[in-house]
Amino acid sequence: MDAKLNEIKHRFEEVEKQLSDPDVISDQKTFRVLNKEHSQLAPVVNKINEYMKCVRDLADNKELIKSEQDSEMKEMLSLDISSLEEQIKDLNDKLMLMLLPKDPNSGKDIIIEIRAGTGGDEAALFAADLFRMYTRYAETKKWKVEILEMNTNEIGGFKEVSFSIKSSEAYDEFKYESGVHRVQRVPETETQGRIHTSAVTVAVLCEAEEDELVIDPNDLKVDVYRSSGCGGQSVNTTDSAVRITHIPTGIIATCQDEKSQIKNRAKALRVLTARLLEKANSEKQAKESEIRKAQIGSGDRSERIRTYNYPQSRMTDHRIGLTLYSLEKIMEGDIADMIEALKKFENEALLKTLK
């Protein structure tokens, strides 16, 4: 353990030294990578320093108590030793969590895509509810949210909606949301009070960082067409909607939310790049170790992950067996407890793989 901690401190010092090198500063790509590593290592090194100070203080106190004759001083040293041993255990546990393998996507901005599945209009209404839940949580964190594409129906639901969240914490908070979300409730249009079950799919994609994924313009087919849908001044009036197809993979991204064709093209390209990055990451993850399998933020949108039961005010996450009876608060964006439970479950699973 001590050897590992010293290795991390040494690497941190190396990175700090490199960041002050004029040659590194002038190379923006290298500087950006090192700066990100520095920001990830800094809290770990602070905790290591705290841990090592406690270890030194404990050793000093144990040495002092051997030669101490005064009974009162001996009792004080004994209390200090007990306190330091507890602090060291606590710091050791925290360091173990901090030293777990980092998700390569940690720290990235994200794009969340929500699509109505089985259930028709009711599924579209629930897609809108999930959009509200996620954006409200992001707003409490003061994270920037930007709608990229929105396809509504006549009753205010979303057939699909894509939006970005910009924050270094966004991926780590939302990565568990990919999958099928099932809702059980009585639709507003139901006259006999019967409970219907509908489904919505959620995909959490990472925004590609600069130079992370280079797309050959020759591999892209760009089509423009008239916007369509419910409302909007530009609907059916201008060729502002954009569809971009990545020819080698067949992956498509569209955007018609903006009046400007240029803005729609930029947004569609962001979504397309995120989808291509997800495809590349999925192929890579399929070849990775058991450590990756222990992580529950796999991004598999075909897996049924959660049920929202309105009659019982119950939310159940099927992956970790978590049930919360506070559905009204959850749908208003109060999802911190759910996210923390998912993080804890994943961390415990990862720790088991390392023992």
pLDDT tens digits, 1-37 = 778 899 999 999 999 999 999 999 999 889 988 998 8
Class of the CATH-defined domain 110-211+290-354: alpha beta
CA gap 321, 309 in Å, rounded: 15
pLDDT at 326 over 60: yes
Q: How far apart are CA 219 and CA 348, in angstroms?
A: 43
Task: Count CB atoms within 10 A of the CB of residue 291.
Answer: 13
Tell me, what's the pLDDT at 192? Answer: 75
pLDDT at 235 over 60: no
Over the chain, what is the mean pLDDT? 89
Q: How confident is the model at residue 297 (pLDDT cuts 50, 70, 90)?
A: low
217-284 architecture in CATH?
2-Layer Sandwich (3.30)
pLDDT digits (tens, 9 = 90+) for 189-219: 676 778 999 999 999 999 988 778 889 999 9
Instruction: State the pLDDT at residue 233.
Output: 42
Instruction: Kindly list the domain boundaries of the chain, sorted by start residue.
Output: 2-98, 110-211+290-354, 217-284
**pLDDT for res 287:** 67
Res 102: pLDDT: 80
Span 159-187, pLDDT tens digits:
999 999 999 899 999 999 999 999 999 98
Q: What is the bridge-based pairing of β-strands 110-116 and 158-166? A: antiparallel
Please count the other Cβ atoms lying within 10 Å of the Cβ belonging to residue 139: 12
Of the listed ranges 154-158, 243-247, 307-311, the least confidently predicted one is 154-158
2-98: CATH topology is Methane Monooxygenase Hydroxylase; Chain G, domain 1 (1.20.58)
The rounded distance, in Å, linking the Cα atoms of 6 and 4 is 5
pLDDT given for residue 231 in this prediction = 44
Q: Strand pairing partners for 222?
A: 244
Q: How far is CA 280 from CA 72, 92, 166, in A?
A: 66, 36, 22
- Token readout for 62 is 């144990």
User: Is pLDDT of 107 > 90?
Assistant: no
Asked if residue 228 has pLDDT above 80, the reply is no
Look at the pTM and tell me if it is higher than 0.85. no
Q: What pLDDT does 285 receive?
A: 72
How far apart are alpha carbons 273 and 219 in whole angstroms?
12
Highest mean pLDDT among 80-84, 214-218, 290-294: 80-84
Percent of the chain with pLDDT over 70: 91
Query: Is residue 228 packed enough to be buried (19+ CB in 10 Å), middle (13-18) or exposed (0-12)?
Result: exposed
Partners of 145 in the β-ladder = 165
